Structure 1
Amino acid sequence: MSSSTPFGIRDYRFYWVARLTSTIAQMGMVIVIGWQVYDIARETMNIRDAAFQLGLIGVVQFAPLFLLTLVSGWTADRLDRRHIARAVLALEMLCAAILGWTTWTGTIDLPILFGVAALLGVARAFAGPALGALAPNLVPREILPKAIAMSSMAWQAGAIVGPALGGILYDIFPWLAYLVSTLLFGLATLCMFAIRPVPRPVITSTGPPWRQMIDGLSYVRRNRLVLGAITLDLFAVLLGGATAMLPVYARDILQVGPEGLGPLRAAPALGATLTALYFSFRPIKTNVGTKMLAAVVVFGIATALFGLSTWLPLSLAMLALLGAADMFSVYIRQSLIQLYTPDEMRGRVSAASTLAISASNELGEARSGFTAALIGPVTAVVAGGIAAVAVTLLWSRLFPELRRARTFDVPAEAVPEKAPVASGGV
């Protein structure tokens, strides 16, 4: 299994293809769902009320993940992570098929879109911990940062192709986008079945299941570097996320329609993919914490400038820049979290990280939608970008461990001992 590159490992190649194809399918669905929700809502609502519906979609997707986080993390540490990933991909394939059928028959409406969004939230609740904890089992520790960069590149490449493909296929036949997503989820499921058994973590916790679930959150709380990295992403993207407003910008501000929504959605992923590609060949080795903080500041500034733009080329450039800055931060954050976490805790810690990421994304969409309903979409996006910069400056003070993280090498004192769950402590 020894190799100097993750692509030299057979099982990682299947994992990477599953990651790529499922992301293309997922992002193709997301853009069509967003467009359909906003378009159907605009038939009977004004801009602000329709934007509010986009916010509700974020809440509907986040609620299952919030409720299932402890269970999904514990499951990823107790069950075969491959089996969980296979079940999740099958559920997403079913969701795509339902949306395709109802779109084809003309029965698609807001309740169906919201119901499927909730199912996708359930899928994401289990996908994040299982897939996040599976990747380190497939490659040697010394090349894990490269594997994370390549995995992120697969996700970002899918986030480029997915929206563009979804927009094009929707323009041909609305149901065609969902059909292609169904087939891609099927291919991803087959790839996960091709991955051979991986070493199972040795669980040393002997307390009851509910206490073992809480143990993951307790570990995050005690490891201040992991806690700072997770919460920085949570609040920066929660406040600064602008993707929920893209249908509004495409339809009513930039006035480029659904054919322009695809490039707008793909622009952040393009910037992120180029950044991940660079890191897969030239990984960061020094001053990783300071560079992560600087990247989040750039993310906030680019978000604010996008919010002010009424010129499509400038909007695309700012979206690409914020995507590159976000990828810069994600690469460092995920490497630190994975390397600073013991394997037996990775599922539960990944669940906490997934919750934070989903909270920042889905609740960020809700925050954008609700704020846009109150003060207008442009003001909401600009204010969010400025708030992201402010949060980063505050976090650099609250968590000096982030500034002190020089390399990805883990000092012994940086990993706290496991909580004494067997004796009832947390």
Structure 2
Amino acid sequence: MKRELHINLFVQSRGHHEASWRHPDASPYALSDIAYYRDVAQRAEAGLFDSIFLADTLALMDTVGHAASNWLEPITALGALAMTTERIGLIATASTTYTEPFNLARQFASLDHITGGRVGWNIVTSWLAPAARNFGGTSLVSHDERYERGEEFVQVAKALWDSWADDAVLDDRASGQYARADRIKPINHEGKYYRVAGPLNMPRGPQGRPVFVQAGSSETGRRFAARHAEAVFTAQMEKKTAQAFYADLKALVVAEGRAPDQALVLPGLSPVIASTEAEALRMARGMNDLTDPEVGRKRLSGRFGGHDFSHLPLDKPLAPEDFPDPGTVQAARSRTEVIVGLVKREKFTLRQLLAYLAGARGHFTTAGTPEQIADLIEDWFTDGAADGFNLMPPLLPSMLDVFVAEVIPLLQRRGLFRTAYTGRTLREHFGLARPATAF
């Protein structure tokens, strides 16, 4: 069977560029207006995207005075988007650190029924120190403990989703039997972090359980992904590192006894697209000119667990020694590794680093013509670097519209991307198997 390219739309702010919220071509809708998300989701569905994805943040960022970093809670938003879309998959972020497995399992099972099997769960372990204080903690949960808790959380959620057999509900009005009680089982989980009796008070969803998405690229994160993830969002700044990550993750997936095509690797891609490369570069510079370096400095601090970068001058070349060792960072460890690697390779000043990160926070950014973007996508897809892409338009909806109108047709003509939806569930879009139960 021929491999098919997969494209997810990552919706954040009015685009992934740090200054997108104030750009004159950005969406006029408020970030708290569901009409904005409906509009973007419907544009992506018209482009035949596999899915859209909503991130989440469990604290108000201290950059709020000069940067738009607040938006609707994603699980709630997906419930609304389910009613205004028909085929596109809908992926929401939910933390294993600050929620309970039973609540989350109910919410996602409900969404799977509501959407007819189009929902996915982006599994995160929360790393922001302000988030810890919002949930009764005084300090950030350590990196290792977050993943240990996350591992048990996912095991409990899986058991809850599988606590009903597919044929448990009879709904037989004539006989008076609603369900076969022998096809519904408690899970009786007792672990280090959770005690959950079960069963779930919700029948099994159309997909069995939601598609599992994960984005951690640290050593611990990759092993977690190999056990559980069915799609992996990853930040890779060049093709060579993307190929290495792809090969490593696929090997880990096989070592866990899973088929490599059941864990899709989708690097982030944030392209500025114009009719000429010169025009695309001019547009990218124009967005960078709208950024506030001090907003970038604060966001960099957050990535490194609150490390103070205020003493660093903006225009002096950086060295790896200017940063904490990523191995000691309890926050977003994989992203800190990417940033320190970028500094080693490019010898950026702080101003240059912040401008680069303003584009998409460490994901691959580029500027070019539709043909150049299509060539890049085909090259990574056919040369062992990606199964598709997590598209992160720097400006929404204008850069999404250009991608749909100009890049998608090129990919279709090359036989890489679908010309119509053939399935109805997100699992079908991604080519994923429906999980079995013990029944």
TM value normalised by structure 1: 0.26
Higher gyration radius (CA): 2
Give the helix-richer structure, 1 or 2: 1
TM value normalised by structure 2: 0.25
